[in-house]
């Protein structure tokens, strides 16, 4: 996941964010001066929570003065004195927001949360004052109306168009009464967004499943060791502790033979912020929908989903639903077949028992062992965290010629590491931070963002400072951190986002962002290499014996590529559908959040009760406080692109083809939003993306090419059978 909002010696870092540091006077505020740190990284060793509010206040004041200078200029409006001046404004505020936003996600506490609650409505109001300033918009519109006569180049024209569109989408064409109401809506939305996220963080940290030695049946040694170390860190002797953080939750659901305990922890996960207490988010979900629906209607759209999607590659909600619906039925059919196979094993264990959602991981693992003789625990020793990171570095070097050099710079937590990224000619490309493990002050999931965005100042490229943040399994029992396959794939995914940021070479700040449904292409394409045999042999090395992963394990991985894909695809698409459904409401009335979800999935679309959507509304952070509202479909839309793009490498016969990688970098990664996403994709691929590669990768298409309709949609489905792989086949061979 990419966060759009952007995101200390080491003892000082801990002191700074635990309240042990005080500011003597405003001159010590590091946001008030240019940073003299190596590579221009934030001076985390000098940043304290109390620096942020003064920095926000000064940043907003300076920004307002810069806008006033544009508005007060008596010269005729031009591209230079309006559009470029606007694009260059607000740099101090933007720098503060990037650092603050990233830290609120990665290393927060009560003080930071209080500042976030205080500043969110102030920042929303500040943005509205600018975007709804009639005098400023009049100047922008005057330049826009004369755009055909200005002799602008392609990038300048794109910046002008995006600037004008941003003001219109923000409400610049509304009347005064509507503008006042829109400001109120935006301020309310900013406040409830902070509340919603804080509630989830509190719920994630509150639940503890404390076990005794007799409760550990089925759990591998590494899982037990991690739970033991967690208990000891909490001062609970002779106990084992499991939490709702994924590195703790998923192994427990996968291996614990105690069905009652699997039910207990999974229900706690599913019911986060849905317990009628101070952290309950159901009313906030209602508030989000009420306010967003009103905002969209005010801006001339039928629904908030229409408002969001109109500015994306998909263009219309109909196009989004068409893609999701095309995948839904075959994915659900495949999941039902997977369920039937697992239910046979449950009946052997407990005749007459009903298969439940908390049984899925446990029996799926049993099926994997039975069908493929593959146990994830036998793989994890080959996926030590340092080796996986080295594998990502190796891949980037083979594709793009770049290298990564460890550096000593200020960090915000002792676990954080940093690398200088050097281009093929050894010039400085940027800095990349890594922050890998769960903490109480860190949000769930994984993401990538900027501390410093790539810009140009006085004609010189300002290199970005990028951070990859995750919640991976911690080292335990004296062993290094050993990643699951999912965590390995996640590292490659977030690393892809990092490369996108690092390769940015965008002239104007307003052209940095790409469409939301394009965002996941640079990240998801990296996942395609993660388990390719040629790459595995370079990084999948046993942490004890230094043995390269043997061919028989690589073959087992290959044969199990489609394992559990029905479940994985169904829960992903289910979440995307609930997102689209709730944001497609054209009028708001108070609603029962749980009942709405049940109608959307179980009653209308036949989702089986054994599968829950990947996220339920009370903790669906992506769509309520994470920048993906009416946009969780982005992952699926971008998967069509990434699977098709990867075909370019496969079809060349060289998975590390430098010429294709260079074209991918120049045509896509370096350009930010300098052109529409589909135009950039066509420039790279030479054609529109073909859905077949994505459908095949999920086992949902096994027909010949001519059975595809002209728009790339599958006319019929012939599901790829997992036993085709067991016989040594491939999707192509199965045809």
Cα gap 599→597, rounded to integer Å: 5
Q: Would you tell me the crossing angle of helices 246-255 and 221-233 to the nearest 10 degrees?
A: 140
Residue 108 makes CB contacts below 8 A (sequence gap 6+) with 116, 201, 441, 442
Residue 510 DSSP label: G
DSSP string, 536-593: HHHH-B-TTT-PBPPHHHHHHHHHTTTTTHHHHHHHHHHHHHHHHHHH--SS-----H
By the 8 A CB rule, do 729 and 735 touch? no
Cα(21)–Cα(31) distance, integer angstroms: 16
Cα–Cα distances (Å) from 727 to 196, 374, 596, 616, 734, in that order, read 49, 15, 44, 38, 10
Q: Are 75 and 81 in contact (CB under 8 A)?
A: yes
Task: Please list the active-site residues.
Answer: 494
Residue whose token pair is 């070097």? 397
Dihedral, 18, 55, 200, 474 alpha carbons, nearest 10: -50
HSE, CB side, 13 Å, CA atoms: give it for residue 649.
Answer: 20
Query: How many angstroms separate the most distant Cα atoms in the chain?
Result: 84
Q: Strands 447-452, 455-457: parallel, antiparallel or unpaired by DSSP? A: unpaired
User: What phi and psi, each to the nearest 5 degrees, are found at residue 156?
Assistant: -65, -40
d(CA 327, CA 575): 13
- How far CA 704 is from CA of 484, 696, 709, 715, in Å, comes to 34, 11, 11, 11
DSSP-assigned states of every residue in 602-649 = IIHH---TT---SS-GGG-HHHHTSS-TT-TTHHHHHHHHHHHHHHHH
């Amino acid at each position: 996941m990419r966060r759009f909002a952007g995101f200390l010696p080491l003892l000082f870092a801990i002191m700074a964010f635990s309240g042990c540091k005080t500011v003597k006077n405003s001159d010590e505020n590091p946001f008030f001066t240019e940073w003299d740190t190596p590579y221009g990284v934030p001076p985390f060793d000098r940043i304290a929570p109390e620096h942020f509010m003064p920095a926000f206040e000064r940043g907003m004041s300076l920004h307002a003065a810069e806008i006033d200078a544009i508005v007060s200029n008596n010269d005729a409006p031009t591209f230079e004195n309006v559009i470029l001046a606007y694009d260059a404004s607000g740099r101090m505020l933007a720098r503060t927001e990037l650092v603050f936003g990233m830290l609120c996600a990665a290393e927060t506490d009560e003080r930071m949360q209080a500042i976030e609650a205080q500043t969110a409505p102030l920042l929303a109001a500040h943005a509205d004052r600018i975007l709804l300033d009639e005098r400023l918009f009049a100047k922008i519109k005057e330049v826009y109306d004369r755009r055909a006569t200005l002799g602008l180049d392609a990038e300048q024209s794109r910046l002008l168009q995006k600037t004008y569109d941003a003001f219109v989408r923000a409400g610049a064409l509304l009347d005064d009464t509507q503008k006042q109401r829109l400001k109120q809506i935006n301020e309310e939305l900013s406040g409830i967004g902070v509340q919603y996220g804080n509630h989830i963080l509190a719920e994630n940290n509150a639940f503890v499943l404390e076990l005794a030695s007799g409760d550990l049946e089925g759990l591998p040694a590494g899982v037990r060791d991690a739970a033991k170390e967690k208990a000891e860190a909490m001062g609970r002797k002779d106990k084992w502790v499991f939490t709702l953080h994924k590195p703790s939750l998923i192994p427990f659901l996968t291996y614990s033979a105690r069905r009652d305990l699997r039910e207990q922890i999974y229900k706690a996960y599913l019911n986060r912020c849905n317990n009628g207490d101070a952290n309950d988010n159901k009313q906030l979900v209602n508030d989000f929908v009420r306010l967003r629906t009103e905002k969209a209607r005010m801006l001339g759209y039928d629904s908030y989903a229409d408002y969001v999607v109109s500015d994306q590659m998909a263009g219309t909600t109909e196009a989004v639903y068409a893609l999701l619906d095309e995948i839904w039925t075959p994915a659900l059919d495949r999941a039902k077949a997977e369920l039937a196979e697992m239910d046979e094993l449950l009946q052997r264990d407990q005749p007459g028992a009903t298969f439940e959602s908390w049984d899925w991981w446990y029996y799926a693992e049993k099926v994997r062992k039975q069908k493929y003789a593959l146990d994830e625990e036998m793989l994890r020793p080959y996926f030590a965290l340092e080796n996986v990171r080295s594998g990502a570095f190796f891949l980037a070097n083979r594709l793009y010629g770049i290298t990564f050099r460890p550096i000593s710079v200020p960090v915000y937590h002792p676990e954080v590491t940093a690398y200088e990224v050097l281009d093929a000619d050894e010039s400085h490309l940027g800095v990349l931070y890594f922050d890998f493990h769960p903490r109480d002050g860190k949000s769930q999931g994984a993401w990538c963002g900027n501390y410093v965005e790539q810009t140009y100042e006085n004609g010189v490229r300002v290199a970005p400072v990028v951070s990859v943040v995750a919640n991976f399994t911690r080292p335990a029992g004296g062993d290094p951190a050993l990643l699951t396959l999912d965590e390995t794939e996640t590292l490659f995914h977030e690393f892809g986002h990092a490369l996108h940021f690092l390769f940015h070479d965008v002239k104007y700040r307003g052209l940095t962002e790409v469409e939301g449904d394009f965002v996941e292409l640079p990240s998801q394409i990296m996942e395609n290499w993660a388990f390719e045999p040629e790459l595995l042999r370079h990084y999948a090395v046993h942490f004890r014996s230094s043995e390269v992963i043997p061919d028989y394990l690589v073959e087992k991985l290959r044969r199990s590529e489609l394992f559990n894909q029905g479940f994985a695809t169904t829960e992903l698409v289910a979440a995307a559908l609930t997102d689209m459904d709730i944001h497609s409401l054209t009028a708001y009335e108070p609603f029962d959040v749980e009942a709405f979800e049940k109608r959307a999935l179980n009653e209308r679309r036949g989702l089986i009760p054994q599968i829950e959507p990947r996220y339920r509304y009370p903790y669906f952070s992506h769509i309520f406080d994470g920048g993906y509202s009416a946009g969780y479909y982005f992952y699926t839309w971008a998967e069509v692109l990434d699977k098709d793009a990867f075909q370019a490498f496969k079809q060349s016969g060289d998975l590390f083809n430098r010429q294709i990688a260079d074209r991918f970098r120049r045509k896509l990664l370096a350009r930010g939003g300098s052109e529409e996403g589909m135009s950039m994709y066509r420039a790279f691929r030479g054609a529109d993306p073909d859905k077949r590669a994505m459908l095949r990768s999920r086992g949902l298409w096994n027909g010949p090419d001519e059975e595809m309709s002209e728009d790339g949609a599958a006319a019929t489905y012939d599901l790829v059978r997992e036993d085709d792989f067991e016989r040594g086949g491939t999707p192509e061979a199965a045809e």
